[in-house]
Amino acid sequence: MLNHTDFTRELHGNRLVAIVRGSDPAAALRSVLALAQEGVRLIEISLTTPGAETVIAQAGKEAGPDAVIGAGTVVTRQDALRARDAGARWMVTPALDEGFEHAVTLGVPVLAGALTPTEAVAAMRSGAGAVKLFPASLGGPGYLRALRDPLPDIPFVPVGGVDAEAARAYFAAGAVAVGVGSPLLGDAPHGGDLTRLRARAREFLAVCATGDAA
């Protein structure tokens, strides 16, 4: 596991969270390894992926020391325990739910799902390392900018419908990082094209390297 300081540093330094959610565990693992080979460090493997614990464990062994493997869609206490036991170094929750509470109890850095100002403040007060603004597509970059006016110290990571163009806009609005699923992964976690995945990974990494600083 990471400590909270290291997790925050990873978000600020890398600015991209790749979200792997697939229907085929072998394809999901291949996608993780391809992302890692392209230089994507923060890789979230959703627990909705069949065999997710095995994918997390294998990714931790095979992706190399530069990949920081986390578990996503942590909803329940059992999810948090499954992710911890599989070797997830950080966790992502869709809401301030039982999974969030137990991940914090386990001492695992958490990217906690929230949408409103009240939820975002509650997440940070309860031990989140950063706030997953979800679903970010509801309000877009303008909503993030409005949130940051009264809450400038909360590290927001927009997730949901973030393509490369939207990522640029979110960085300009003050995001510390973006979380990207299908606009990055495409069909790769379902057995699809890894070559295109690699190309999209390079595109997103370039955006994260050149986007406006949060």
119: annotated active-site residue:
no
Which residue of the set 61, 132, 165, 203 is catalytic?
Answer: 132
Choose, from 38, 44, 53, 62, the residue flagged as catalytic: 44
- Asked if 164 and 203 count as a contact pair (C-beta separation under 8 A), the reply is yes
In the annotation, is 132 catalytic? yes
Residues taking part in catalysis: 44, 132
